[in-house]
Chains A and B, each alone.
Chain A
């Protein structure tokens, strides 16, 4: 079963614009992770936010976490064509022994 539901399923923006993706999940977590997947390739880790953190930055990425609403968002600022990929959130469930469960993903297309 999928732990997270991501919204939107697909997003198309122009280069230079910001892209926001949302993730909702169901259970208590130790941390929440965001991954990127280029077509036909493996997943690459982007950022990890722990359950006691509310916001985290890494370069052009900004992640927020609201554990009371069981939701997270990923913001990519000043997007580039190279950011075109699928983005997934994944939750490390509390008490789950490091079990990592992925969401449904957002397909981002950045056009020139």
Chain B
């Protein structure tokens, strides 16, 4: 089966600019996650979707981050405006209920 697709793989932007990441989960996976992973740390959950509804976004900095999942399939994560501390790898994952998650390769964001 095809895996989780993410794009772009790398992105360099200046602070205060905006950026968007795209994720295409595995077909049939209702649950989609966005994680932020800062170098040397574990992935931190930003937002979790069940179909196109938000299950958890308690750690999403809502003043600058937004996410949507159109028609319960693809998802986009946006940062506007970016800060230096947003430099991280942004990981998308999808899963079936009570099963393990499949991860994409991630987008490495550098904010300068």
Residue in B42, B43, B55, B104 with the greatest tally of chain A CB atoms within 10 Å: B42
B100 A42 Cβ-Cβ under 8 A: no
- B71: interface (CB < 8 Å): no
Bound complex: CA of A44 vs CA of B103, how far in Å? 7
Bound complex: CA of A109 vs CA of B48, how far in Å? 32
Bound complex: CA of A57 vs CA of B101, how far in Å? 19
B102 A30 Cβ-Cβ under 8 A: no
A98 B42 Cβ-Cβ under 8 A: no
Binary B-proximity of A31-69 (CB < 8 A = 1, otherwise 0): 101010000111111001000000000000000000000
Stretch from B14-22, B60-68, B74-82, B90-98 forming part of the interface with A: B90-98
Whether A45 contacts B102 in the complex (CB less than 8 A), given A1-B59, A100-B95, A102-B35, comes out as: yes
B: contact size bracket? 20 to 34
Residue in A48, A100, A104 with the greatest tally of chain B CB atoms within 10 Å: A100
Bound complex: CA of A102 vs CA of B91, how far in Å? 13
- Residue total for A at the interface (Cβ-Cβ under 8 A): 27
A92 B98 Cβ-Cβ under 8 A: yes
- B110: interface (CB < 8 Å): no
Binary B-proximity of A92-106 (CB < 8 A = 1, otherwise 0): 100011111111110
Taking CB as reference atom, which chain A residue is nearest B50? A97
Which residues on B are within 8 Å of A, measured CB to CB? Answer: 4, 31, 33, 35, 41-45, 48, 50, 55-56, 59, 91, 93, 95, 97-106, 108
The contact sample of 19 A-B pairs, CB cut-off 8 A, is A1-B59, A4-B42, A42-B105, A43-B43, A43-B93, A44-B103, A48-B100, A97-B48, A97-B55, A97-B56, A98-B95, A98-B98, A99-B55, A99-B56, A100-B45, A100-B95, A100-B101, A102-B35, A105-B42
Query: What 6 additional pairs, Cβ within 8 angstroms, besides A30-B98, A99-B55?
Result: A40-B108, A41-B105, A48-B100, A99-B45, A100-B33, A100-B48
Which residues on A are within 8 Å of B, measured CB to CB? Answer: 1-2, 4, 30-31, 33, 35, 40-45, 48, 88, 90, 92, 96-105
